[in-house]
Amino acid sequence: MPQRTPSSGASADFARHPTLREQADALARGATTSEQLVAEALERIAVHQAGGGHAYVGRVDADAALQAARDSDRRRAAGQVPSLLAGLPVSIKDLFDVQGQTTQAGSAGGVPGPQPALADADAVARLRAAGAVLLGRTNMSEFAFSGLGLNPHHGHPANPSDAARITGGSSSGAAVTVALGLADAALGTDTGGSIRIPSAFCGLTGFKPTARRVSLAGAYPLSRSLDSIGPLARSVDCCAILDAVLSGATLDSAAAPLAGLRLGVTEDFVLDGLDAAVAQAFERGLERLSAAGAQIVRFGFAELQELPRINAAGGLVTAEAWHVHRARLEDAALAARYDPRVAQRTRRGAAISAADYIDLLDARARLQAVARERLQGLDAWLMPTVAVLAPRLADMATDDESFFATNAKVLRNPSVLNFLDGCALSLPCQAAGDLPVGLSVGGLHGADARVLQVGRAVEACLRAA
């Protein structure tokens, strides 16, 4: 198994940074201050950027972050602590509006527009109201249209476990900020796995909630049918804390007793063609859960094999991305500023007719009905988050054929839950010293609380082993 090679400016102990609750407890006890936490994060960011790291896009406004931290400390001293996030540094994916800043969604300057945002995106506003200190905008796949996280405009964020490997996307910079302690948590989006893929590749915990539980207002769209907003963090508890702020609804996420849980595992499609290391880590995780009293229920879901045919023309995401980008891609000057790979994928949407689009919606509804039948009586649906280990950057940086084939392979598993309008966590399940592997704990529409409950139990079992 390949050993870890930390990326530029990284520290090999990136997994040891405290959780949100641990940081909040340290603030409550007076063991630290928000100013100290933010200053330390800014120091790590400076080292990361000096070493050629690309987690953040552009300049991080250190002065504004430190002032916000000092304000938070003063409010805490006066007894004003709006949430557990109060005073904690958080990074923001570059597709969210932040008042006074320009939202580029990972694109080159001038696309989608040069004007600063007049207001925060709803998700950003909720974080700010909860007292979080916003550090900066994180790098991403341009317009969030790739699961690999590469960006030709702003640099490719390197994997903290092995700098020769990709971070995964589209929330690539977001994952790096959490893994390297450049933020305590990150705000990301997930259309086909964009939170869970980088979480899996970077040894983090990521949560994709049911779409529309978190307001999309002020977030640059990719696919109106599939986009969702959620956190990348260090634990299920961190994700639950952030979800409560982002959604405005505190779910009952107390850990479920593991003994007796019925955890479904689909034998086909999502287990096809796994890397040997991924298969080994996943099966080892299932063995530990079974030994702890969970019931692993193997079941067939042959209809998932239809997904490549259903999405052969690009699927909902391509059709809806073309709707967003059509005017710019039909303007030669603006189109020339796009990542050519993103432009190529998006232009495929021009060939999807209204009738084709309705067929996609009908196919989605049909598979959702099948999924409800297959998952009936199960507490959660487990699968490897991604079928492969984080691929090597050199294998696809200049080879379009390799890039598109790898992108499809990386997106395959996580996009299943998006297509079915479900929710899912990705939890680290690799052995110590191995490259990160994610185990997905999923559920269907509205099962967010149960996924968090089961996720806490699964996480505790995996960490105890």
Distance CA 420, CA 366 (A): 10
How far is CA 314 from each of CA 223, 224, 249, rounded to the nearest angstrom?
12, 15, 34
* Structure tokens, 63: 């002065």
93 is catalytic: yes
Active-site option among 170, 225, 247, 426: 170
User: Is 208 among the residues known to form the active site?
Assistant: no
Cβ burial 367-402 (10 Å sphere, 16+ → b, else e):
beeebeebbeebbbbbbbbbbbbbbebeebeeeeee
Contact 385, 425 (CB under 8 A): no
Kind plus residue range of the DSSP H or E element containing 410: helix 400-419
Asked if residue 280 lies in contact with residue 311, where contact means CB atoms within 8 angstroms, the answer is no
CA distance 414 to 404: 16
Alpha carbons 182 and 91: distance in angstroms, whole number = 8
E strand or H helix that includes residue 323: helix 315-329
Give catalytic status of residue 170 as yes or no: yes
151 Cβ contact list (under 8 Å, min separation 6)? 54, 106, 139, 140, 141, 142, 157, 172, 339
Q: Is the peptide bond before 170 cis (omega within 30 degrees of 0)?
A: yes
Specify the 3-state DSSP secondary structure of 164: strand
From the candidates 194, 228, 247, 253, which is the catalytic residue? Answer: 194
Asked if 218 and 96 count as a contact pair (C-beta separation under 8 A), the reply is yes
Catalytic pick among 7, 93, 172, 208: 93
List, by residue number, the catalytic residues. 93, 170, 194
